[in-house]
Amino acid sequence: MIILSQRRSVLFFIVLMLLLGATGAKGTSLSYTYSYWREMMPAPHAFVPVQAVHGHLLGAGALQSPQDLFATENSLYILDTGNNRILEIDGDWSLVRVIDSFQHEGTSQTFNSPTGIHVSKAGDLYLADRGSGRILVLDQDLHAKLIIESPALVAPEYFETDFRFRPDKITSDNEGTIYVIATGVYDGILEFDLQGSFLGFKGAPRVAPSVLDYLWRRIATDAQRERMALFLPVEHSNLAVDERGFVYATAVGEGLPIEDRIRRLNTAGRDILLRNPVLPPLGDFVEAEDPSSSMVDILPGTYGTYAVLDRVRGRVFTYDSTGNLLYVFGGLGNTLGTFRNPVALANFHGNMLVLDSLKNSVTVFAPTEYQRTIFAALGHYDAGDFDGAARMWAEVLKLNTNYDLAYTGTGNAHLMQGEYRQAMEAFRLANNRPAFSEAYRFYRRDLLGEMFGFVAAGLLGLLFLVWWACRPAAKHRDVGEAMGEAAATYTAVKSWEEQTSRGLVTHLKRIYHGLRFSLRVIVSPFEGFWDLKHARRGNLPAAWTILGLVVLTYVVMRQYTGFLFNTRNPKELNILLEIFSVVFPFFLWAGINWSLTTLMDGKGSLSDIVIATAYALTPIILVNLPATLFSNFLTVQEGAFYYFFFYLSLIWSMGLLFFGTMVTHDYSFGGNVFVILLTLAGIGIALFIGMLFIDIVLQLFGFFVEVYQELIFRL
């Protein structure tokens, strides 16, 4: 498996390099999407870097630790924090003016380490002047319209006594409401009205404490609880307002679930961001030991899309209105198209701009045909032109056949046009199970409507066949006759078991009657398990057959469960692993149980335990095989029936295993509970020892490898 994983990684990066060459990118920016199983899939470039703009190129001298960007229809504003100034650039990348001061009450004042900028449609400039601890609102002539000091001065009850107002980021909506992120404020985004009056906090992130934190809080003293309350690791990192007035925000901190670090807040401060449940918008999907993405800026776009900037890996992720990843570009490095410390995003005349505070430059990314085609498809769908959307998504698929979202878009277009079969095929290719279920529901409804007569006739025919098959069983039989048949069966089974040498026919008869008796065991466990042991109605060949059928059942479930309920990657199906996942727990249970019961007056032998355990698994076969078949005809809403029968089979088998253990060893109810708990504890200890042994062996092997390599290199 490790070798296969390495080969996939090498192949992935080879394809990426080919794509880089094909698109003519000047930098080393990576472009990819994620599959349903969170695998990186190479993709064409949505944006390519075309230039890096430095202060000298603009004729304004070197930038020094710039911290923010903001673009309007005609101008770009670069917040040059280290030089305490703002550079205004026009569409031709010419310097319009350098803003390094403003007028207030007849005097000229300067900025002090400003870190956030926003420009309204009216041309008013909003500035988070962090060093001065104030918010500035300037008109187009750079006269101060409003200066907001620390809100702790007017609402001290909301802040600590030593609170220092240090605004970091700022934005404003169409109504003039001002939203500010400030360092050390964990209660949410600061909200001010047109006159600068403090309105309160908006959208405080909900901290999700761990179980350990909860238990520690339960036993902590009052003083310890007070110190705990001061540890609030979650705060917002940036924010922006979209065309409809919703506030988009990014949050950082270990106390906040990674899925909630990108947020969309309504007027009540509630997070209403739509998230893809399988691939939520959170940046890169990484292993547990790797650092997760840390978003430092967010930029709303058209059609409900938004882009976020990841500081950890220097990548820009763009999502649609429902949380589906559209494309990724960027990376860390020193070449064009990569960054060292990206801090801000802006979209200026269709180009994506990324500000780097260490390179002291703005990298300009130009859109490609791939990006324009994606947005054309989104635009057609948003306008209700489903034919046009389908055409555009088809063009996207010509550029990237691995693009699940294009298949989803095609499926949505077919669904809106009533072409349910085509929609199902597209949604299947996209692994979009909720949408597939919706399309299948309509398709099944129409199909049943067309074939109602045939379906009704088939059901009547099936009922007649069942009635006809059950007619002989309904005939009255004499009790003595039934007892005679049972005695004959018992005698035959006993004679088979006493034979020292059996022919093939006898073996097959033993297995057949052993399997047939399992049907009695699952409905009458006490009598059934008693006869298994004392009347020898069960045998090891039948037990091995049942175990093999259980393995087959799980393989069939993994491969043939309905698309809506089978979320396993078919490329990862391993028959040997499936066999091991059933056989290993089976023998581990039997071995540990036998080892303990021999010391606790258990009456069952190892073969008795194996037979009883195997027969207890019969419901898994009888329930799950039909359930697997019918799962192909259910919708997501009807999936409760499938899961009900699946868990029913497990509970049924566990109950049979409990009673089988009790009857096999002749234990009381309480004694059986105690032995089963000891068996489970023994399994845990055995697994721990086994893993420890494997770890020691691997370390020893690694030691010898290092010694060998050392000798080779030195000799």
DSSP 3-state percent helix, strand, coil across the chain (nearest 5): 50, 20, 30
Q: Tally the domains of the chain.
A: 2
**In this structure, is residue 476 part of a structural domain?**
no
Instruction: Indicate the average pLDDT of the chain.
Output: 86
Q: How many CB atoms lie within 10 A of CB 435?
A: 21
C-alpha distances in Å from residue 415, one per residue of 139, 242, 451, 563: 50, 29, 22, 18
* Widest Cα–Cα separation across the chain: 117
Please state the rounded mean pLDDT for residues 287-304: 90
Helices (H) and strands (E) in the chain, counts: 19, 27
Instruction: Work out the average pLDDT over 60-75.
Output: 95
So what's the pLDDT on residue 146? 95
In percent, how much of the chain has pLDDT > 70?
A: 85
The dihedral region occupied by 620, where left means phi > 0, alpha psi between -120 and 50, and beta the remainder, is alpha
pLDDT above 60 (res 418): yes
Q: What pTM was computed for the model?
A: 0.80
Is residue 540 within 8 A of residue 548, CB to CB? The reply is no
Element (H, E) at 648: helix 639-665
pLDDT band at 214 (very low <50, low <70, confident <90, very high): low
Helix axes 222-229, 211-219, angle to 10 degrees: 140
State the Cα–Cα distance between residues 210 and 590, nearest whole angstrom.
37
**Tally of CB atoms within 10 A around 623:** 19
Lowest mean pLDDT segment, chosen from 9-18, 266-275, 567-576: 9-18
Sequence-ordered list of residues with C-beta below 8 angstroms from that of 321, at least 6 positions apart, any chain: 274, 303, 304, 305
How sure is the predictor about 259, in pLDDT bands with cuts at 50, 70 and 90?
confident
Measured distance CA(241)–CA(479) in Å, rounded:
83
Higher confidence at residue 327 or residue 535? 327
Predicted local distance difference test score (pLDDT) of residue 8: 47
Does the pLDDT value for residue 353 go beyond 50?
yes
- Give residue 90's pLDDT: 94
Contact 325, 279 (CB under 8 A): yes
Most confident of 183-192, 521-530, 612-621: 612-621
Closest CA to 525 of 676, 653, 665: 653
- Please say if the pLDDT value at position 588 is more than 80: yes
48 found inside a domain: yes
b/e 571-607 (16+ beta carbons within 10 angstroms → b): eeeeeeebbeebeeebebbbbbbbebbeeeebebeee
Side chain identity, residue 452? F
User: Is 562 contained in some domain?
Assistant: yes
Residue 475 has pLDDT above 50, yes or no: no
- How much of the chain, in percent, has pLDDT values that exceed 90? 60
- Is residue 675 within 8 A of residue 661, CB to CB? The reply is yes
Q: Is residue 542 part of a domain?
A: yes
Mean pLDDT of 599-615: 91
Cβ within 8 Å of residue 307, ≥6 positions away: 298, 299, 301, 316, 317, 318, 319, 345, 347, 352
Q: Are 590 and 613 in contact (CB under 8 A)?
A: yes
Last residue of a domain, one of 367, 401, 426: 367
Q: Which residues, 6+ apart, have CB-to-CB distance to 441 below 8 Å?
A: 635, 637
Asked whether residue 128 is domain-assigned, the answer is yes
How high is the pLDDT of residue 15? 45
User: Residues 141-155: pLDDT tens digits?
Assistant: 999 999 999 999 999
- The lowest-confidence range among 119-123, 217-221, 595-599 is 217-221
CATH number at 116 reads: 2.120.10.30
The residue ranges of DSSP E strands in 166-279, in sequence order, are 167-172, 178-182, 189-192, 198-202, 235-241, 247-252, 262-265
Say whether pLDDT at 109 is over 90. Answer: yes
Model confidence at 229: pLDDT above 90: no
Answer yes or no: is 436 within a domain: no
Q: For residue 587, give its domain range.
A: 507-696
User: Region 174-199: what's the mean pLDDT?
Assistant: 92
- Write down the residue that tokens 């399997």 correspond to: 515
Output the pLDDT for position 53: 94
pLDDT of residue 342: 96
Find the length of the chain: 715
Determine the average pLDDT of the residues in 84-107.
94
Please indicate, yes or no, if residue 552 is contained in any of the structural domains.
Answer: yes
Give the whole-angstrom CA distance, residue 319 versus residue 326: 5
Boundary (domain end) residue, out of 332, 352, 367: 367
More reliable by pLDDT, 497 or 345: 345
| Tokens describing residue 564 | 């809506």
DSSP characters over 649-667:
HHHHHHHHHHHHHHHHHT-
Q: How many CB atoms are closer than 10 A to CB 346?
A: 21
205-219, 448-462, 468-482, 649-663 — most confident range: 649-663
Q: How far is CA 590 from CA 109, 111, 604, 611, in A?
A: 83, 76, 11, 10
User: Once rounded to an integer, what is the mean pLDDT over residues 584-609?
Assistant: 91
Distance CA 544, CA 529 (A): 17
CB 565 within 8 A of CB 629: no
Whether the per-residue pLDDT at 447 is higher than 90: the answer is no
Q: What is the pLDDT of residue 22?
A: 40
Distance (Å, whole) CA 667 – CA 218: 40
Least Cα distance to 52 among 296, 366, 297, 294 occurs for 366
Q: What are phi and psi of 573, to 5 degrees?
A: -70, 120
Query: What is the structure's pLDDT at 510?
Result: 79
How confident is the model at residue 182, as a pLDDT? 94
Residue 436 vs residues 20, 565, 640: alpha-carbon distances, Å: 34, 11, 17
Give the Cα-Cα-Cα angle 212, 217, 222 (nearest 5 degrees).
Answer: 160
Q: Is 156 within the bounds of a domain?
A: yes
pLDDT digits (tens, 9 = 90+) for 508-528: 877 888 888 888 899 889 988
* Alpha-carbon gap, residue 79 to 81, rounded angstroms: 6
pLDDT at 710: 79
Nearest to 146 by CA among 166, 168, 172: 172
Domain boundary residue, one of 344, 367, 390? 367
Question: How far apart, in whole angstroms, are the C-alpha atoms of residue 105 and residue 209?
Answer: 49
